[in-house]
Copies of this chain bind each other. A is one copy, B any other.
Amino acid sequence: MGALPKIDYIMDNLTLEDIAKKAGVSRSTVSRVINNQESVREEVRQRVLRIIDETGYQPHFAARSLASRRSRLIGLVIPRGVHTLFTDPYFPRLIQGISQACNQNDYTLSLFIFNSEEEEKKLYPRISRQGMLDGLIVQAAQLEDELLTQLMERGASFIIAGRPYNLPEANFIDVDNVFAARTAVKHLIQQGRKRIGTITGPKNTTAGIDRYEGYQIELKEHGLEIDDRLVVEGDFTEEGGYTAGIQLLKHNPDAVFSASDVMALGLIRAANELNLKVPEDFALVGFDDLPPAKSSNPKLTTIRQPILRLGIHLVETLLDIIDNGGELPQRIMLDTELIIRESCGSGYR
């Protein structure tokens, strides 16, 4: 009674040869059928397929990789310095997207998390090992990531999730953080807010830099000047948002743009302690629109990043790079969307 394919377990460890014999054809023909090559008589193809189906034959992964020089395995690399891997809901979502796209394309995903410098050293040879991975997705981490430089030099097939710093020839996909931040800040300005502060991301990440830049540009655009006391650096954690919030709220902002929803939650906690109300005392716009955005009180107005799509896009672009060798660097920016809820004080849509 299986929804899962039920197969004849007596016949296990089958090889191409076995299938060929059963079907009365040669190994090559079976191989052609498996690899969907045209040049096989339809009748033969059907016969072979039937036998494969009946026996539950699966080509041997290692043998196939060795002969074809393709593993259909890609790696997701999380460099050290990505400390929020275990607290930021961004990553599970990204992994989900990547995983889905891998499944779709018959690729398998391997995970390489560099928990320490030691592990990075140990793992680097592994990710660049012959015959193991067809390509890599590397999460952008801190500025001047040596890992990325090495991969470039090596001529590896890889793509970066997030804009890398100072690496014009590398492939990457990112959301347009500058534009997104501008949208957030513009919305606050449109609500009539004047003293707009920000909790930034870490200044040694491009996400932190770019969102801060968007904030600055938009304020200038509207002739508002930047009060440095209203700019506090966070680290993309709730705790960091709280700490930054305590700091920031001393200086009476009437609005805050938080570079992530999770930090916005920390800010709200800080506000509660200080008996400040959102959005009455200050309006708030976050960034991400992941589940936490809706479990705050008030619910967050925020910038929605298409993270799932980012994951899918990463895989598909990577596969393209693997297959067609990336001539010109792919530098792709995805759009974001302002989601209006309660925290900005402009009414629930």
What is the CA–CA distance of A136 and B131 in the complex, to the nearest angstrom? 22
B91, B121, B131: which contacts A61 (Cβ < 8 A)?
B131
Q: What 1/0 flags go to A293-319 for Cβ under 8 Å of B? A: 011010000000000000000000000
Contact A150 B4 (CB under 8 A): yes
Contact A130 B61 (CB under 8 A): yes
Chain A, interface SS category: helix
List, in ascending order, chain B residues with CB within 8 A of A66's CB.
Answer: 60, 62-63, 66
Contact A154 B9 (CB under 8 A): yes
Residue tally, chain A, CB below 8 Å to B: 69
What is the CA–CA distance of A133 and B310 in the complex, to the nearest angstrom? 28
What is the CA–CA distance of A231 and B13 in the complex, to the nearest angstrom? 51
List, in ascending order, chain B residues with CB within 8 A of A59's CB.
Answer: 129-130
**How many copies of the chain does the oligomer comprise?**
2
Contact A4 B121 (CB under 8 A): yes
Stretch at the interface among A27-35, A112-120, A187-195: A112-120
Known: A9-B153, A109-B110. A4 touches B124 (CB 8 A): yes
For residue A203, CB closer than 8 A to chain B, the reply is no
Contact A115 B96 (CB under 8 A): yes
Q: What 1/0 flags go to A122-160 for Cβ under 8 Å of B? A: 111110111110000000000000110010011000000
- Chain A residues with a Cβ under 8 A of chain B: 2-5, 9, 13, 56, 58-63, 65-66, 71, 73, 85-87, 89, 91-93, 95-96, 99-100, 103, 108-113, 115, 117, 119-126, 128-132, 146-147, 150, 153-154, 237-239, 242, 265-266, 269, 272-273, 291-292, 294-295, 297
Ordered by A's residue number, 26 sampled pairs between the chains whose C-beta atoms are within 8 Å are: A3-B146, A4-B124, A56-B125, A58-B128, A59-B129, A60-B66, A60-B130, A61-B129, A61-B130, A61-B131, A62-B65, A62-B71, A85-B92, A86-B89, A86-B92, A86-B96, A91-B92, A99-B112, A99-B113, A100-B115, A100-B119, A108-B110, A109-B111, A237-B291, A238-B292, A273-B297
